[in-house]
Amino acid sequence: MIRLHHVPQARSFRILWLLEELGESFEVVPHSFFDKSLRAPDYLALSPAGRVPALEVDGRVLFESGAIIEWLCETRGQLGRAPGEAERGDWLEWLHFSETAGQHIAALTQQHIVLREAWMRSPTVMRLEAKRLEKVLAVADCALRGRDWLLPSGFSAVDVAMGYSALIGGRFVRLDAMPALAGWLDRIAARPAFRRAVARDGRAEIYTRDFYEAPDA
Q: Which top CATH class is 88-191?
A: mainly alpha
Q: pLDDT tens-digit profile of 123-148?
A: 999 999 999 999 999 999 999 999 99
Above 90 in pLDDT, residue 165?
yes
* Percent of all residues in the chain with a pLDDT value above 90, rounded to a whole number: 94
Spatial separation of the C-alpha atoms in residues 72 and 50, rounded to whole Å? 22
Spatial separation of the C-alpha atoms in residues 56 and 119, rounded to whole Å? 40
Pick the CATH number of 2-76 from 2.60.40.10, 3.40.50.980, 3.40.30.10, 3.30.830.10: 3.40.30.10
Average pLDDT over the chain reads: 96
Q: pLDDT tens-digit profile of 64-114?
A: 999 999 999 999 988 999 999 999 999 999 999 999 999 999 999 999 999
What SS3 class is residue 47? coil
pLDDT grade, residue 170 (50/70/90)?
A: very high
pTM summary value: 0.96
Nearest C-alpha neighbor of 69 from the set 90, 86, 38, 91: 91
* CA separation, residue 166 to residues 15, 133, 140 (Å): 15, 9, 9
The one-letter code for the residue type at 9 is Q
